[in-house]
Structure 1
Amino acid sequence: MTLTTKTISKGFVIAGLMNMGVLVFSRFFTNPVIPEYDPVVMSNFGLLMIVVWGLAYISVAKNYPNVKWLVGVFAVEKLIYGFIWTKWMLNNNLSDVFEKDTMAGIFYSIYGVNDWIFFVFFSFVFIRLINSTK
């Protein structure tokens, strides 16, 4: 698979914008249902930190080759969130969330899929950067 630098840069921006989606689903941190179902990871502070991660992805979109180890950190971060989501999905009833709030239900339905996709993306970019310096 050949991806241009421009396409990869767009991937970083898309990853950041996807994280900004938290603002919509949480209704700018006023939706009490999201933190109710995962008060540790998805507290309002946790949701804010997701936005901050998104800003970090966007901030390196144009110069990601200069921060290859940070790209590796992004991959690890997405791996952790993807794992946490998978664990959450195995131990919770999504229909309970949908019954309380549709936006929260949609959020819990998709956030981990997004994290797994961008784990693959960031891992691919990191491996490509590591191999390009050999």
Structure 2
Amino acid sequence: MNSNLTRNGFIAAALMNIGGVMLFSRAFTNDAINQADPVVMSNFGLMMIVVWGLAYLGAAFVRGDLRWLAAAFAVEKLVYVVAWSVWMSSHSLGAVYEQDLFAGVFYSIYGLNDLAFMVFFGWVALTQRSHD
């Protein structure tokens, strides 16, 4: 496995979580995101997405076997993909866009972003060899 690819993938996931939340939530001041999904995307929920980003960033600099950590990250991303899919099936993106452009873009892309990183983390979990 290419350790640079793995490290850069973890860094990219961190930047997407931290930067995406901070940008689209306007540093936790965009109420439209909270109102569209008050359970998953409350300010507490958004802060926890940032915390997950910090965990990905920390993992990027771990030298050693990341299989089980990457597997946990893949499961975490699966939870968000399912939450997004359920939300998309019962809500109108148009209504969110009418309320706020940033919130609309956020809801348009967050599940796809999480799907991509779920695949990446799953790939790391399945392909990384033990260093024992």
* Both proteins in one fold, TM over 0.5: yes
Distance 1:38 1:64, change over 3 A: farther
Find the aligned partners of 1:111 and 1:55 in 2 and give their Cα distance.
Answer: 17
Q: Give how far 1:63 is off.
A: 1.7
Segments of 4+ moved more than 4 angstroms: none
* Percent identity of equivalent pairs: 51
Distance 1:70 1:124, change over 3 A: same
Q: Aligned residue pairs: how many?
A: 130
Aligned residue runs from structure 1 range 59-98, under 5 A: 59-63=58-62, 65-98=64-97
SS at the partner of 1:42? coil
Find the aligned partners of 1:72 and 1:104 in 2 and give their Cα distance.
Answer: 29
Q: Give how far 1:64 is off.
A: 5.9
Distance 1:14 1:37, change over 3 A: same
1:16 paired with 2:27, answer: no
TM-score normalised to the size of structure 2? 0.94
Q: Which runs of 5+ in 2 are unaligned?
A: none
TM-score normalised to the size of structure 1? 0.92
Q: Which runs of 5+ in 1 are unaligned?
A: none
Distance 1:64 1:116, change over 3 A: farther
SS at the partner of 2:66? helix
Aligned residue runs from structure 1 range 1-134, under 5 A: 4-20=2-18, 21-63=20-62, 65-129=64-128, 132-133=129-130
Q: 1:9–1:64: 8 Å Cα contact kept in structure 2? A: no
Deviation sequence 1:47-71 (CA, Å, 0-9, x none):
0000000010010102264332111
Deviation sequence 1:79-134 (CA, Å, 0-9, x none):
010111011111100000000000000000000000000000000000112xx249
Find the aligned partners of 1:64 and 1:76 in 2 and give their Cα distance.
Answer: 22
Find the aligned partners of 1:41 and 1:64 in 2 and give their Cα distance.
Answer: 33
SS at the partner of 2:27? coil
What's the RMSD between the two structures over aligned residues? Answer: 1.4
